Structure 1
Amino acid sequence: MQPPINYRQHGPGPVVQLNEPPVSRVGRFLRAHGRRLWWLHSVYALAIGTGVVAFASQGFGHARFLAITLAVAWLLLVLLFRVRDASGAPHTFDAADPKTRVRFFVVTYALKNLYQGMLFFLLPFYWKATTTDAANAVFVAVLAACAVLSTLDIVFDRVLMRRQWLASAFHGFALFACMNLVIPALLPDTRTLWSLLGAAGCAVVSFWTLHVTAVAVKKRITLAYFALSLASGFGVVYAARVAIPPVPMYVSSAGVGPEQLPDGRLAMEVTTLHPSVIQELIAVTDVVVPGGKGDRLRHVWRHEGSEVHRTSEETARIAGPAGVVRLRSTLRGEDLPRVLDGRWWVDVETDDGQLVGRTKFEVAE
C-alpha cells in the first residue's frame, strides 16, 4: 500500500497528507475546529430553548411531566459523581481511560439536554409571576442565567461538571425551581408556602444523595446533620419567600380608577391624577390560578413604600371569570394620608407575604 504523501503549501500552514483516510480527515478537522463547533451547538441549543419557552406558554398542564425529567437528571448526576471508574476516580473528562471519558461525555450531554428542557420550560411561568421592580425579579434572573448556562457546552462540561459542589448547587437550584411548579401541578389547591417547603426538602435530600454514602447514613451523627440541614433549608426558604415568585399564580390584569362597572371591571383606569379629584379610589385585580385556589389573597395599598390600607380576601373578593380570583378594594377619604403627592401602588399578596403582582399610579399637582 502506498504511504500517504506529505504536502506543505508555500508559507506557514499545516502539513496536508494526500490519500489520507476519511476518518483521519474528520478527526483532524474536529481537532482544529472543535471549540467553534461547540459554540455553534450552543447557539443551536439556545434556539431549541426558545422553542421550549413557546411550548410552555401554551399551558400549565404539561408541568407535571417535569417530575419525570427531574428524576432522570438526578439519576444521571448520581451516575456521574457516585459511580467510579476502575482506578477509583469519579467519571471526568480528564480521566485516563478513554471509555470513562466517553461515558462522561454521554452523561453530561444528556444532562445538558434535560436541564435545557426543564429550565427553559420554567421561564414563562416564573416570568408571569414576577414583579419586575420587586425582590422576586432576582430569582427569575438567576433562573434565566442557569438556562443560558445549560446551553454553553464548553462552560457546562469544563467548569460546572468538573466540580461536584458546583454541579450539586446548580442541580439543587434547578430542582427547587421545578418542584415549586410541579407540586401544585400534581396536587392542585396546594398553598404556595407548602410548595416552597416541599421543594426545599427535595433539594436538600437530592444534595445528600450526591455527597453522602449509604454507609455514612447509618451513623447517628450523619442523621443529625441531615435533620439540621433539612431544618436549615426550610428556614432559609421561609425567610426568602418574599423573593420567590408564587408560581403558577399571576396577575393577568390590574388597575385603579374612580368608578366600577356592573360586571366588576373598572370604568376607567388612571395612571396619573391630581390630588383635588381624589375622593375615592377603587383597585381591581384579576389573579389567574391554574394550580387551583390554595392561598388567601389581599390588597395592600402603599404610598412611597409606606402601607396605607389593606383588605383581606373575605372582604375584597368579587365574582369573576372561571379560573380567576377577582379582588376589589376601595381607598376612601378617611384612609388617605395628609400628603397625597407621590408614587402609589396596590400589591396583591398571599397571606404568607409573597407578592403576586402590582399596579401603580402617581398623584401629582
Structure 2
Amino acid sequence: MPVLKQQILRVIALVQRHPGMVAIFGFASGLASFLLVERQAELAQVLALVMLLGWLWLILENILRERIAQWFGFELPPPLLRYATQMIHQESLFFVLPFFFITTTWNSGQLLFSGLLACAALVSIIDPLYYKWLARRRWLYLAYHTLALFAVMLTALPIIFKLTTPQSYQLALAASVLLSFPSLFAIIPVHRWWRGLLMVGLSLALGAGGWLARVWVPPATLWLNEVAITTQFDNLQRAPGERLTQLSVAQLRSQGLFAYTAINAPRGLNERIYHVWRHDGREIERIALDIHGGRKQGYRAWSKKQNFPEQAVGRWQVQVLTEAGQMIGVLRFHVVE
C-alpha cells in the first residue's frame, strides 16, 4: 500500500511540473476523435466513453474516496483530488473544443456558447485563475462544472448511442441538472422546507434556461461539408450546378432555386433536419429532410423552392436546423431587380 501511495504522489508531482500536458492531451484526443468519427467510429466511441467515465469519477468522488479508505486503508491526499478534478475539466473541455469549433456558425448567437467553452478551457490550465478565482466561488465552480459536463455529453451521446441531436440535447440537459442538484446542498443548506423549494426552483430554472438557449448551442456532431444555392441540379449525380450568391427576380421566377447541403454526421445516426427559407428575416417556408450519418463527404440533402412572394427582392437565407432548433449552418443569397 505505501508503494501505491508513493506512485500516486509521483503522478501529482509530474502534473504539477507539467500542467499543460493534460490540456495538450485533451485537445489531441478530441481532435483525433473528431477526425476518426467517420473512419474509425469504434475508436471515437472509446475516447468518448473514457471521458464519460472520468466524469462519473468526478460525480462520485466523495463516495469513492470513502470506499478507497475503507478497502485499502488510506485516504487519497487532497492535492490528488484537486488535480484530478482539474485534469478532468482540462481533458473534457479540450476534448470537445474541436467539435464545437467546426460546427459553430460564427456570425450567429452560437459564437457566445463556443467562446464561453474556449474561455472555460483557458481557465482550466491557468492555476491562479482556476484555484484562486474559480474554485473559491462555489456557485461559479458549480456552473463551470455543469457547463463542461453538458458539452461532453452533447459530443459523446450521438457517437456512443447514436442518439439524434434533440435526444442528445434533452438527455444532456436533464443529466446536467440532476447531477448538479446534490451540489446545490453546499450552497443552500436545506434546514427549512422553503429552502428545499428554492433549491428545486433553481434546478428547474437551470433546466428551462438551458432549453431556451438551445438555439445558441451548436450541434456538436453535425456540420456542413458542402453547400450551394443554384438554379440547376443533377439528380443522377446528386450534384449542384453553378453556385450563386446573387440572382435576378426573372431567374428566380423562371427556374426556381435549389438549396444543397452535404451534412456530416456520425455513422449510424439518423436525423431529421429542416431547410428554413427566410426573406429579410421572415420565415417563408420550412422543408423537412431526413439524413443518415456515415458518408465521408456528408449526406447530400437538398430542397427546391418555386413559389416566391411577389416582393422577392432582398436578402435571403436558408437556415439548416435540427428538430430542436439548433443551427447547423446558413446559406445566403441576394435577389435583385
Structure 1 Cα separation of the partners of residues 142 and 292 of structure 2: 46
Q: Which residue of 1 aligns with 2:35?
A: 58
Q: CA deviation at 1:115?
A: 1.3
User: Which sections of structure 2, spanning at least 5 residues, go unmatched?
Assistant: 1-15, 38-44, 67-74
Structure 2 Cα separation of the partners of residues 157 and 336 of structure 1: 58
1:348 to 308, 320, 331: 320
Task: Tell whether the 8 Å contact from 1:76 to 1:111 is kept in structure 2 after alignment.
Answer: no
2:160 to 186, 189, 194: 186
Counterpart secondary structure, 1:263: coil
Q: Which residue of 2 aligns with 1:245?
A: 218
Q: Which residue of 2 aligns with 1:34?
A: none
Amino acid at match of 2:177: V
1:255 to 228, 231, 237: 228
Q: TM-score, normalised by structure 1?
A: 0.71
Structure 1 Cα separation of the partners of residues 220 and 98 of structure 2: 10
Q: TM-score, normalised by structure 2?
A: 0.76
Name the CA shift for 1:338/1:151 in 2 (closer, same or farther; >3 Å): same
1:232 to 197, 205, 211: 205
Q: How does 1:1-365 map to 2 (within 5 A)?
A: 47-60=24-37, 61=45, 62-76=47-61, 103-188=77-162, 190-212=163-185, 224=197, 227-261=200-234, 262-278=236-252, 279=254, 280-290=256-266, 292-313=268-289, 322=295, 324-332=298-306, 334-341=307-314, 343-364=315-336
Counterpart secondary structure, 1:179: helix
Counterpart secondary structure, 2:240: coil
Q: Size of the alignment, in residue pairs?
A: 301
Structure 2 Cα separation of the partners of residues 155 and 318 of structure 1: 43
Structure 2 Cα separation of the partners of residues 236 and 135 of structure 1: 15
> More helix by proportion, 1 or 2?
2
Structure 1 Cα separation of the partners of residues 129 and 291 of structure 2: 51
Task: Tell whether the 8 Å contact from 2:27 to 2:95 is kept in structure 1 after alignment.
Answer: no
User: Which sections of structure 1, spanning at least 5 residues, go unmatched?
Assistant: 1-37, 83-99
Decide which structure has the larger Cα Rg and report it.
1
Identity, in percent, stands at 25
Structure 2 Cα separation of the partners of residues 289 and 218 of structure 1: 48
Task: Tell whether the 8 Å contact from 1:300 to 1:310 is kept in structure 2 after alignment.
Answer: yes
Name the CA shift for 1:191/1:50 in 2 (closer, same or farther; >3 Å): closer
TM-superposition CA deviations, 1:5-61 (whole Å, max 9, x none) = xxxxxxxxxxxxxxxxxxxxxxxxxxxxxxxxx8x9566665445434432332333
Structure 1 Cα separation of the partners of residues 293 and 175 of structure 2: 36
Alignment root-mean-square deviation, CA: 3.4
Name the CA shift for 1:187/1:48 in 2 (closer, same or farther; >3 Å): closer
Name the CA shift for 1:162/1:135 in 2 (closer, same or farther; >3 Å): same
Task: Tell whether the 8 Å contact from 2:27 to 2:91 is kept in structure 1 after alignment.
Answer: no
- Between 1 and 2, higher relative CO (CA 8 Å, sep ≥ 6) is seen in 2
Q: CA deviation at 1:165?
A: 1.9
Name the CA shift for 1:310/1:191 in 2 (closer, same or farther; >3 Å): same
Structure 1 Cα separation of the partners of residues 122 and 184 of structure 2: 26
Q: CA deviation at 1:252?
A: 1.9
Task: Tell whether the 8 Å contact from 1:275 to 1:363 is kept in structure 2 after alignment.
Answer: yes
Name the CA shift for 1:180/1:51 in 2 (closer, same or farther; >3 Å): closer
Amino acid at match of 2:311: R
Task: Tell whether the 8 Å contact from 1:181 to 1:248 is kept in structure 2 after alignment.
Answer: yes
Counterpart secondary structure, 1:59: helix
Q: Which residue of 1 aligns with 2:10?
A: none
TM-superposition CA deviations, 1:101-134 (whole Å, max 9, x none) = x944332222222211111110121223221112
Name the CA shift for 1:117/1:43 in 2 (closer, same or farther; >3 Å): closer
Counterpart secondary structure, 2:183: helix
Larger displacement relative to structure 2 (173-182 or 48-57)? 48-57
